[in-house]
Structure 1
Amino acid sequence: MSLSSHLQELKKKHQSLSSVVEEMQRSPGVDDLRVAELKKQKLRIKEEIARLTDRPQ
């Protein structure tokens, strides 16, 4: 897998998690633990994207 396709996949996952988190937060009886877990996943993906895009070429 090339770097650019890997970055695209990470960005898709990040956007997907954002959508899920937003939807869960709008729902009554939201599972705060699950939302926190998803937010941590989002952060890890964001950090990975930053690490891959900031590296020297």
Structure 2
Amino acid sequence: MNASSELNPDEMLRIRHAVMQRQHRDLDEAIKAVEASVNPDQLMLRRLKKQKLVLKERLVNIEDDLIPDIIA
């Protein structure tokens, strides 16, 4: 048996969420580094920010899948 077959879907989502959170932080650090340079590459900044936004949207989707809807 491999590791993925031993994990239930929620555990796999939590792991994916943690990895994506780290990627999101890494992108944030990369954006700050580019912005701090003397002559920041605007195209690179736009691309990094777009990647960060897409990643954030995926994180929100995973969070929605993990947190059950509570109807009052």
TM-score by length of structure 1 reads: 0.92
Structure 1: tracts of 5 or more residues without a match: none
RMSD of the TM alignment (CA)?
Answer: 1.3
Aligned partner of 2:29 in structure 1 is 19
Matched to 2:42, the amino acid is: D
SS of residue in 2 equivalent to 1:29? coil
Aligned partner of 1:33 in structure 2 is 43
Shift of 1:15: 0.1
The total of aligned residue pairs comes to 57
Structure 2: tracts of 5 or more residues without a match: 5-11
TM-score by length of structure 2 reads: 0.74
Aligned partner of 1:9 in structure 2 is 19
Aligned partner of 1:46 in structure 2 is 56
> Which contiguous aligned blocks of 4+ residues in structure 1 show a shift greater than 2 angstroms?
none
SS of residue in 2 equivalent to 1:28? coil
Q: Deviations over 1:8-47 (max 9, x none)?
A: 0100000000000001101011100000000000000000
